[in-house]
Each structure stands twice: as structure tokens, then as C-alpha cells.
Amino acid sequence: MALHDIDADVKFDSKVLTDVAEALEPHATEMFKQRRGRWIAIVELAHVERTEPGPDEDKNPAVKLRVTTIEVAADEITGGRLRGLQREMYDRRTSGGTLFADDEDVA
């Protein structure tokens, strides 16, 4: 079985690093006020833990990730730019068998 064929569950570590908390602090009041708010950000994730169930366990393997760095878009212009990048990344991820599939030179 190839590594990319593993059906692993993804979990997020609840530990918030100091740098992450500091990056979120300027947005905390607005995040508190907007109960249904949404924010776009650039996030870096780190592998924290990997769980491989035994052969007799009826569980999926799991990987735990932690947010190591985050930058939240502070204005509509930045938010729009990030949403454009997000759309492009989504298109590339979901483009199997289309024009994007063979386009590996584009960063």
C-alpha cells in the first residue's frame, strides 16, 4: 500500500503555542463579538503524533497536527488575496485528470 493510500484520521492538538496566541490576540475581540464570524489566514501545521492501531483494532490510523504559525488577514484586500490563493490551491487539488493535473512547474 502506498503512503498516500492510508485512510488516516486527522486530529488537531489543542495546545496553543505562544506565537500563535500572540498572532491571534489582535483579532480576539472581533472573534468574540462575531458568533458566526469567519476569518481567513495563512497557517503552518506541524506533525505532533501518529497513532497506528494494532491489527485487531477496528480503528483508522490517526495523525495529530498542531498550528505552529498563523497570520490572520487584517483587512479586506489581504483577505481577498488569500481567498484567491485558496481557490487556486483548491482547483489544483481537485483537478485530477484536467489541464492542471500535469502542470507541475507552477508554484
Give the C-alpha separation, 101 to 103, whole Å. 6
Q: Which residues of 71-89 are buried (b: 16+ CB within 10 A; e: fewer)?
A: ebbeeeeebeebeeeeeee
Q: Structure pTM?
A: 0.75
The C-alpha cell at 59 is 480503528
Report pLDDT digits (tens) over 78-106. 999 999 999 999 999 898 766 655 555 55
**DSSP calls for 43-100:** EEEEEEEEE---TT-----EEEEEEEEEEE--SHHHHHHHHHHHHHHHHHHT-TTSGG
